[in-house]
Amino acid sequence: MTTSSNDEHKESTIVFNKHSNAPSTRPKSHRCNEHLEDVLTGVSSWPMDFSKPFGVFWKCLRSQPGQEPPLYRNQFKADESTEFVADEK
């Protein structure tokens, strides 16, 4: 029995992912990866800060690509910089 070259080509083709038949040049992290890092930083610090960064991470997971919320660590730094500091005299 003879097989056509087209059948042989189909068998030798490896599908790397559902969006492409070619390997990606570089792996990409998930778009919410930095939000997850904020959660892990909050869990591993004292006092533990878990609920707020997790809420931002959860919003990121539910958001559309390109509409991710700002990072929690950036919000936290902005809050610290706006605190009132009395003049020392």
The DSSP string of 24-76 is -SS----TTHHHHHHHHHHHHSSS---HHHHHHHHHHHHSPTT-PPPPHHHHH
Cα separation values, 75 from 24, 41, 72, Å: 34, 14, 5
Query: Is pLDDT of 85 > 80?
Result: no
Structure confidence at residue 29 (pLDDT)? 85
Residue with the larger pLDDT of the pair 7 and 40:
40
Q: What is the mean pLDDT of residues 35-41?
A: 93
Domain ranges of the chain: 29-83
- At 27 the pLDDT is 76
Q: What is the mean pLDDT of residues 54-72?
A: 93
Residue 1 has pLDDT above 60, yes or no: no
Residue 86 DSSP symbol: P
Predicted confidence band of residue 70 (pLDDT cuts 50, 70, 90) = very high
